Amino acid sequence: MQQKLNKDRKIVTEIDPISGLIYKYKYGQNKRIVNIYLKNKSSKNKTIIKEDFNGKEYAPSEKKDFSEKYIITIIYDKLGREKKLIRYNRTTRKRYVKENLMFKENEAVLWIEDYSGKRDFGFKLKDLVKHNF
């Protein structure tokens, strides 16, 4: 990886010569935004990751993936678990939302889903039964 550092010795650009991916970093107070895209800027594919600094390292708080067909947003909780996923289809304009409500360790065991107004829920029964309420 080729790296470019700022005056504070933080990485501002990384280029992976094999994949052609470019990582651009912007820093704020205890926050960082990472833009990831291909060297070929004509592609609509890119990823934006918002990260919070927890005193030791940067952990994701939100991730957005843009592609030709979908925009996918993932929101993480303070423990780095996937709290909410939103998938928007650019062609059909339909939206799928999954919100995880309960976890066992780092895996969701209870969640709700919404697909363009049709609501449902899901669970992992063996893990949910063992969960202490």
Tell me: pLDDT of 85 over 90: yes
pLDDT band at 54 (very low <50, low <70, confident <90, very high): confident
Shared domain check, 96 and 108: yes
Q: How many CB atoms lie within 10 A of CB 83?
A: 20
Shared domain check, 73 and 31: no
pLDDT band at 102 (very low <50, low <70, confident <90, very high): very high
* Residue 114 structural domain: 69-133
Of 44 and 68, the structure prediction assigns the larger pLDDT to 68
Give the pLDDT score at 68: 92
Structurally, the chain folds into a number of domains equal to 2
Shared domain check, 126 and 79: yes
Tell me: pLDDT of 43 over 60: yes
Shared domain check, 126 and 73: yes
pTM: 0.85
Percent above pLDDT 90 for the chain:
74
Shared domain check, 30 and 11: yes
Shared domain check, 28 and 13: yes
pLDDT band at 29 (very low <50, low <70, confident <90, very high): very high
pLDDT band at 132 (very low <50, low <70, confident <90, very high): low
Shared domain check, 77 and 30: no
